[in-house]
Structure 1
Amino acid sequence: MTPTEFDVVVIGGGIAGVSIGYELAADRRVCLVEQEGTLAFHTTGRSAALYLETFGNASVRALTGASRAQLTDPPADFDGPILASRPYLVFAREGRGDALTAFYDDVRRQAPAVELLSADDAVGLAPYLRRAAIEAALIDPASMDIDVHALHQGYVRGLRRRGGEIRTHAAVTALDRAHGVWTAAFGDGRTVRAPVVVDAAGAWADTVAECAGAAPIGVRPMVRTIFGVDAPEGLETSNLPVVNDLDDAFYIKPEANGLLCSPADDTPSHPHDVRPGDLEIARAIDSINEVTDLRIRHVRSSWAGLRTFAPDRSPVVGFDPGVEGFFWFAGQGGYGIQMADGLARSGAAVFRGEALPDDVVARGVQATVLAPDRF
């Protein structure tokens, strides 16, 4: 088959791929390819995302803050609103109050709305918490629920409106470069050609890199399990905060007529269509029942996704130091949705050889912190 010509081939149809594809399509002919039959299949579409400026390391928090304006006032291609208020409460068990104070001191620099709470105040906001099990708490009143579908589809519509092409059922089987141009081959015999390949393949990022002859950088998929339970009779969930154990034994996120729970697991994995782990669910239920009055006995539904981290848990953005025309856009971890705008704008700037956006720089992020050669 005759290959199709583009300026950029973006590999991966999750939030990473569609966001960087959207930004690059402003002045490039972009083809986005996805191995599955639907976009956002493995991670983005399974996310119970929050907008949290207290979440992740300093770079992640900065990029999240730089993304707030777009999420609050999205462009015309995005169905709004994308954000809805959902306070985030972190509690410390008995004996862990000092650790919670240290966490507060760390995050309030970039999330000044965060407040310390007494244990009584925490139980007042989340009445299913068991008072005797809690020493102290903090709350981020600026936390938000994110409509993941609306955000992802907004990028998809915007990418197409800017002339970008999206192909599904397009698993890359070979990447070959000759005369300054990549040829990406797919299992059905189709090919596309472009001078630059953007690796936004999430859990498969290192696999794609090796296919292109680039050295893997050690991005590691981690399993995150989620399960749904019914709310106890009489518990109104609409105004409840997300509740997170300081030591990440679990978190609980309200949903309509129920609660989404997670063991907050980070189990190393290989890239595949991951399934929830019964042992992790059982562990989370035990931890939740220790410090709450929920008395969970039955799981209504469960699923799992892959959160992919670089070794230092910061995103990897930039051209590979050893392979011409190969651009990394990987390692978003569990933060890719909340920092999509700031990271995609930063990625597009690095791609074009420009300085990072002013608002990103003002928050303390430098391109060297994201660059793949930092490893």
Structure 2
Amino acid sequence: MTETSDFLIIGGGIAGAGAAARLGPDASVIVLEMEDALGRHSTGRSAAIYIRNYGNRTLRALNAMSEPVLENPEGISDHSLLSPRGEMLIASEEELGVFADYLKGAEGMEMLTSDEAVSLFPLLRKDRIAAAAIERDAKDIDVDRFLQGAARLARRHGAQFVMSAPARRITRISGQWRVETPRGVFEAPVLINAAGAWADEIAALAGVKKVGLVAMRRSAAIIPPPEGVDVTGWPLVASASESWYAKPDAGKLMVSPADEDPVAPHDVWADDMVLAEGLHRFEQAVTMPVTRVERNWAGLRNFVADRTPVVGFASDADGFFWLAGQGGYGVQTAPALSQLTADLCLGRNPGLMAPVVQALNPARLV
């Protein structure tokens, strides 16, 4: 038996769930997720922080549009998804150039002395800090509450989530996209490709030209702070060249080597050598040795060549909509991109400025 809807969404991360929540009031939606739970890959392994100044100009516009929704997530949660954190950028002498580049066009960044930086993150070595700045309004994101809330909202509007349903065959027949899965056959005139690291594979399966998506591994580890040190109120701190960052996490420190190693899409894990090298870079900037790793993991960041998301209808296939390439910005830009997806799919004027919409258009990659 074939199930039909107005929209089929492939991918049950925050992109797919968010789009379903925004499309749901006006259309029937089915979300097909290959895993047995939502957000198993990139969404569930996010660093979980909102940083307004993170990314290029287009991404910063998306960040700004998303913040009010994260702060007041009506229908998704009864209170803010954000909590205070702050993000501090530090630079060695060799990193002053990239530090200056980051600050160009940045909003709400406050310059700090090395003493002020150490007062905020007391493990830092003062002699390694040539410059520092902080975005005090950077905030932690409750990613699980966001994802589950978006899925609940979508379901309240009638959306159906089908788990353990990887696409095995995709065809276009008589104006309908037909997706065959182990859980059944599904059809809709519009197919939304929100498959994360697998988005190019889904396009190939559908006979649509790929956009050149590259999946990149990002690793992280949880380490204990020095005995008796309370890190709870410290900001996230990152090197200006993004060679490592550290963030308080439930009384411990999450440290990442900020790696971006290209990998084939899969259930990725941390590479021991890459992790060790990143932890060594962290050690060079702080006064504590890393003596124990309590656990580690990795996630996938998915980029096209210009490191800007791909959102819009494909130029070479009717009814095929791209919602992909969010890089490491997928959670914090999800509110803006979910709304844009609904607006474009339903033929409404988007709330984003035209240059931003154009910068996201898949046609730029053809």
TM-score by length of 2: 0.97
Distance across 2 between alignment mates of 1:77 and 1:341: 11
Instruction: Tell me which amino acid in the other structure corresponds to 1:346.
Output: L
TM-aligned CA deviation for residue 70 of structure 1:
0.8
**Counterpart of 1:366 in 2: which secondary structure?**
helix
69-78 or 7-16, larger mean C-alpha shift: 69-78
The answer to whether residue 168 in structure 2 is matched with residue 169 in structure 1 is no
- Among 114, 136, 153, which residue is 1:158 paired with? 153
Partner residue of 1:186? 181
- In the TM superposition, what whole-angstrom CA distance separates every residue of 1:223-250 from its partner, at most 9, and x where no partner exists? 0001000011132111101000001110
Change (3 A) 1:104 1:272: same
Q: Deviations over 1:235-279 (max 9, x none)?
A: 211110100000111000001221000000111011100011101
Equivalent residue, structure 1, for 2:81: 82
The equivalent residue for 2:254 is 260
Query: Match of 1:367?
Result: 357
Q: Using the TM superposition, give the Cα deviation of residue 98 of structure 1 relative to its aligned residue in structure 2, in angstroms.
A: 4.6
What displacement does 1:79 show?
A: 4.8
Contact 2:13 2:38 in 1 (8 A): yes
Query: 2:98, 2:241 within 8 Å by CA — same for their partners in 1?
Result: no
What's 1:248 paired with?
242
Q: How does 1:108-257 map to 2 (within 5 A)?
A: 111=107, 113-188=108-183, 190-257=184-251
Q: Using the aligned pairs only, state the percent identity.
A: 36
The alpha carbon displacement at 1:102 in A equals 3.5
CA contact (8 A) 2:215 2:264 kept: yes
Shift of 1:99: 3.8
Q: Are the aligned partners of 1:80 and 1:150 in contact in 2 as well (CA < 8 Å)?
A: no
SS in 1 for 2:274: helix
d(CA) in 2 for partners of 1:125 and 1:366?
A: 35
The answer to whether the aligner puts 1:308 opposite 2:302 as a matched pair is yes
SS in 2 for 1:252: strand
Residue in 1 aligned with 2:61? 62
Aligned-residue offset at 1:365: 4.2
Is 1:288 the counterpart of 2:287 in the alignment? no
- Counterpart CA distance in 1 for 2:134 and 2:334 is 24
Structure 1: stretches of 5+ with no match in the other structure: none
Q: TM-score, normalised by structure 1?
A: 0.95
Q: How does 1:295-374 map to 2 (within 5 A)?
A: 295-357=289-351, 360-361=352-353, 365-374=355-364
CA contact (8 A) 1:350 1:367 kept: no
Q: Could you say which residue in structure 1 is the equivalent of 2:9?
A: 10
2:92 aligned partner: 93
CA contact (8 A) 1:66 1:342 kept: yes
Does the CA contact (< 8 Å) of 1:79 and 1:154 recur in 2? Answer: no
Deviation string, structure 1 residues 120-177 (Cα, Å, up to 9, x no partner): 1111111100011111100000100000001101110000000000000000001111
In structure 2, C-alpha distance between the alignment counterparts of 1:14 and 1:3, rounded to whole Å: 24
C-alpha deviations, 1:2-39, integer Å up to 9, x for none? 10111110000001110111111121100001000111
Aligned residues: 365
User: What RMSD in Å do the two structures reach over aligned CA positions?
Assistant: 1.2
Q: Secondary structure at the match of 1:314?
A: coil
> CA 1:132–1:215 in structure 2 vs 1: closer, same or farther (change >3 Å)?
same
What amino acid sits opposite 2:168 in the alignment? T
